[in-house]
């Protein structure tokens, strides 16, 4: 009796999804900078495994367009069939929970117990496989993606009625309700060797064994009972191991299917939440490196959309072979929000998801990094600039050509001249090394120096401010200005004219 070789392959076309992979060195920093907590809360919905699977995929960027489209098609199937996908996920959860409850009663002190428990476990798993096949047969026609089609085809072909009939017969026979049949040979010194567990074949069984020599152990013969148990264990050993391996194999399939479905359940949870908020979503078009293409319309910050009521302003951009996007402009004009939306969308695209925009086309990045300004922390041992430099040093140790870095008011903890020089050297070194950068800065000397160079690979953007001081939260092409219009904030908070104090 051999369990069919089955793989879920809903995350990758040719390999398993690894939930045990180590977390990124900067996962917490990236989560804080991009304000991912509202996204994770919408994904989780009281299921920790869903969040674990989602985070594992979210922070592991796919590197090929075909890998992304493979997941996109599967996720589109999930969106069309949410009830079926949730039913499949619930079945895998039920299977794992039943296995864990039954294992509490298991004991492997004796080999016979392991054998019996493995048979019971397989019976339960076979019943769950039967239910799984019934679900897939009923809803096969509603799924069109390669991943689901392959999975459902395997379940249909490998787990047909003949398979279930045969395996049920084997498991029933292995309960040994009318005794255990074991054969052995005599060794050179008349010791028992080659113990084999035998099937009680229906054909010719009676004729072969009815007149065989036999004897019955006395109930008081303890030594004989111990000896017989040891001999039976020799015959049961190989069969018990095979049964245990078969049970582990089928259970492993359910665990893998559960973890892969968990990712899509998280995507469904977030999708349905955004649909209730009437937020636009689209399927991004991935562009394979080394080509660079970045184009989007109505790109918005998902975390902001999940935490405030009303519409969220989206932004549009079309660019080609750019290495740096330098963003300046009025305080509280939406620059940081724009930066977060770019990072969120890139991560979502590269894990095979929809993105928060009306349209998006983007090249793939090796990895995404962030370096945002931190608020003052009383627990800091060193100064704020030292902390920023140390954090950048860790990023440089891991960043490589083809990566994307998001810089938000970095190195502004010192004076204008020093901050500008540090920013210029670091940003130039990164972009010269093939790293793409989005940089929000209030350092006019730094921004203007790059603007004067007239480099064709740099796009200058600016947060829009109307003549009356209102912010539209639109990020548009524009050269750097000397002012960030801090007086607007003063008038908004205190009213009246700003009083200049002479020292």
| Class of residue 214 by CB neighbours under 10 A (exposed 0-12, middle 13-18, buried 19+) | exposed
Token code pair at residue 162:
């003949």
Least confident among 271-275, 287-291, 360-364: 287-291
CA distance 484 to 83: 51
User: pLDDT value at position 498?
Assistant: 45
Most confident of 206-210, 226-230, 410-414, 438-442: 438-442
What b/e readout covers 385-421, taking b as 16+ CB neighbours within 10 angstroms? eeebbebbeebbeebeebbbbbbbbbbbbbeeeebbb
Domains of the chain from N-terminus onward: 62-207+214-276 (no CATH), 285-494 (3.40.50.300)
Edge-to-edge strand ranges of the sheet holding 436-440: 368-372, 404-408, 436-440, 324-329, 458-465, 471-477
Residue with the bigger pLDDT between 52 and 238: it is 52
Cβ atoms of 357 and 314 closer than 8 Å? yes
Q: In which residue are the tokens 């000896």 written? A: 227
Q: Is the pLDDT of residue 188 over 50?
A: yes
Give percent above pLDDT 90 in the chain: 61
* Sequence-ordered alpha helix ranges (H) in 368-471: 384-398, 416-432, 444-452
> DSSP character for 45?
T
User: pLDDT value at position 158?
Assistant: 83
User: pLDDT value at position 179?
Assistant: 63
**pTM for this entry:** 0.86
Edge-to-edge strand ranges of the sheet holding 285-287: 285-287, 359-363, 294-299, 315-319
User: pLDDT value at position 331?
Assistant: 87
Q: Is the pLDDT of residue 1 over 50?
A: no
Confidence band (pLDDT; 50, 70, 90) for 203?
low
401-427 average pLDDT score:
94
User: pLDDT value at position 306?
Assistant: 96
CA distance 456 to 157: 58
Confidence band (pLDDT; 50, 70, 90) for 311?
confident
Across all residues in the chain, what is the average pLDDT? 86
For residue 165, the Cα-to-chain-centroid distance in whole angstroms is: 37
Residue with the bigger pLDDT between 141 and 220: it is 141
Q: Is the pLDDT of residue 466 over 60?
A: yes
pLDDT digits (tens, 9 = 90+) for 355-368: 999 999 999 999 99
Q: Is the pLDDT of residue 456 over 70?
A: yes
CA distance 279 to 270: 11
User: pLDDT value at position 362?
Assistant: 97
Positive or negative, the Cα torsion across 59, 62, 65, 70? negative
């Amino acid at each position: 009796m051999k369990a069919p070789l089955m793989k879920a392959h809903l995350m990758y076309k040719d390999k398993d999804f690894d939930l045990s992979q180590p977390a990124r060195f900067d996962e917490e920093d990236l989560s804080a900078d991009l304000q991912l907590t509202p996204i994770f809360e919408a994904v989780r919905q009281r299921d920790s495994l869903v969040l674990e699977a989602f985070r594992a995929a979210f922070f592991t960027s796919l590197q090929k367009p075909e890998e992304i489209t493979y997941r996109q098609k599967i996720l589109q199937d999930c969106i069309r069939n949410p009830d079926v996908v949730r039913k499949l996920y619930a079945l895998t959860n039920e299977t794992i929970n039943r296995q864990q409850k039954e294992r509490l009663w298991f004991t492997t002190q004796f080999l016979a117990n392991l054998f019996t428990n493995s048979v019971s476990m397989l019976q339960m798993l076979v019943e769950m496989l039967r239910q799984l096949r019934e679900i897939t047969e009923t809803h096969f026609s509603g799924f069109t993606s390669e991943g689901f089609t392959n999975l459902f085809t395997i379940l249909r072909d490998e787990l047909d009625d003949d398979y279930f009939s045969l395996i049920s017969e084997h498991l029933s026979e292995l309960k040994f309700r009318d005794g255990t049949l074991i054969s052995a040979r005599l060794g050179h010194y008349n010791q028992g060797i080659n113990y084999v567990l035998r099937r009680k074949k229906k054909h010719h069984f009676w004729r072969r064994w009815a007149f065989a020599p036999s004897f019955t152990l006395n109930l008081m013969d303890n030594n004989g009972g111990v000896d017989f148990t040891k001999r039976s264990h020799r015959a049961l050993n190989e069969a018990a191991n095979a049964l245990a391996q078969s049970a582990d194999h089928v259970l492993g399939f359910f665990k893998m299917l559960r973890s892969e479905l968990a990712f899509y359940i998280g995507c469904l949870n977030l999708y349905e939440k955004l649909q209730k908020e009437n937020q636009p979503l689209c399927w991004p078009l991935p562009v394979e490196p080394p080509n660079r293409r970045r184009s989007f319309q109505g790109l918005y910050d998902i975390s902001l959309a999940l935490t405030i009521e009303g519409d969220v302003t989206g932004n549009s951009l079309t660019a080609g072979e750019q290495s740096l996007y330098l963003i300046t402009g009025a305080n509280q004009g939406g620059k940081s929000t724009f930066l977060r939306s770019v990072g969120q969308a890139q991560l979502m695209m590269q894990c095979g998801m929809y993105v928060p925009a009306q349209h998006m086309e983007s090249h793939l990045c090796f990895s995404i990094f962030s370096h945002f300004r931190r608020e003052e922390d009383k627990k800091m041992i060193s100064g704020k600039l030292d902390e920023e430099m140390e954090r950048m040093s860790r990023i440089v140790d891991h960043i490589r050509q083809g990566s994307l870095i998001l810089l938000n008011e970095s190195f502004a903890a010192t004076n204008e001249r020093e901050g500008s020089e540090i920013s210029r050297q670091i940003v130039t070194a990164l972009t010269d090394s093939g790293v793409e950068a989005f940089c929000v800065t209030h350092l006019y000397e730094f921004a203007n120096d790059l603007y004067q160079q007239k480099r064709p690979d740099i796009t200058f953007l600016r947060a829009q401010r109307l003549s009356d001081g209102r912010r539209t939260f639109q990020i548009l092409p524009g050269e750097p200005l000397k002012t960030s219009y801090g007086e607007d904030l003063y008038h908004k908070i205190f009213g009246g004219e700003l009083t200049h104090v002479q020292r």
